[in-house]
Structure 1
Amino acid sequence: MIKRQACVPELSVSDINQSLSFYLDILSFKVDYQRPEDKFAMISIDDCQLMLEETNEYWKTGELVYPFGRGINFQIQVREIDELHQRIKKHQYPIKMEIQENWYRADSVLIGQKEF
């Protein structure tokens, strides 16, 4: 049985096979389960889960214009950020900023993380 996280984003994608190739082959996610007939997949890496579904009329709430998801930012925590960063660069995907260490205040505590 797959342990499901409490909040699992579902992303609409224009081509499920192209999206799976990116997440599986480049980012090293794994498939938890799929429903090929629905063009749907639940994928995960470390403790992060995402659902991918090729666009359809079922969940459509408005016009989708590529690239989808503008105005949203997901933080995906992985054990090997340097390896992930190198795989993305190797496949020449655009990276907005190189890896950097940033510290954020959470009330009176500073929390540091490497991010790109």
Structure 2
Amino acid sequence: MGTGRPPEPWAMLMTELMVSDFPRSLAFWTGPLGFSVAFERPGQDFACLSRPEGAQVMIYQRDGDWETGPMEPPYGRGAIVQVYVSDVEQVHRAVLASGVTPYVELREKWRDWGDRLGGQREFLVQDPDGYLVMVAQRLGERPLP
């Protein structure tokens, strides 16, 4: 039986990550990345995690189900999980303090949004299974140059 409650509101699109060491992954996501357990199924090594800003992700111990091909580290090749936070510098410091080296260091990035530029401070880090996670804080918008 599960403990806790699904987050409110429940995201209409949520990533569910297969992990090779559930306790290690749970410690990473709830430690330096600052997620909390909203709902879990302890007997299945499954947790739905959330952040106060609304980001949600599920993790569960690999069990052979739903694997569409060989699982070789790093997992998630070709996918980036984006997490928007209210204080990216605080999360960056927590990641560094945990001994994890970012894949891409903290930077300011402005991207073309069609009729304007959208900015954010961001860094990228790999979780214990190699999933690439972009942690970002929006900076706002500005006109195209």
TM-score normalised to structure 1 length: 0.94
The percent of aligned pairs where both chains have the same amino acid is 31
Question: Structure 1 residue 97: deviation in Å?
Answer: 2.2
Higher share of residues assigned helix: 1
Aligned residues, how many?
Answer: 116
Q: Which residue of 2 aligns with 1:18?
A: 24
Answering whether residue 5 of structure 2 is matched by residue 4 of structure 1, we say: no
User: Which residue, out of 119, 125, 128, partners 1:112?
Assistant: 119
SS of 2:119's partner is strand
Question: Structure 1 residue 22: deviation in Å?
Answer: 0.6
Unaligned runs of 5+ in 2: 124-145
Is 5-14 or 87-96 further displaced after alignment?
Answer: 87-96
Task: Determine the C-alpha separation between the residues in 2 that align with 1:66 and 1:52.
Answer: 16
**Alpha-carbon RMSD:** 1.2
Question: Structure 1 residue 4: deviation in Å?
Answer: 0.7
Unaligned runs of 5+ in 1: none
Question: Structure 1 residue 85: deviation in Å?
Answer: 0.2
Q: Which residue of 2 aligns with 1:58?
A: 65
Could you list the structure 1 runs, at least 4 aligned residues long, displaced by more than 3 angstroms after superposition.
none
Q: Which residue of 1 aligns with 2:37?
A: 31
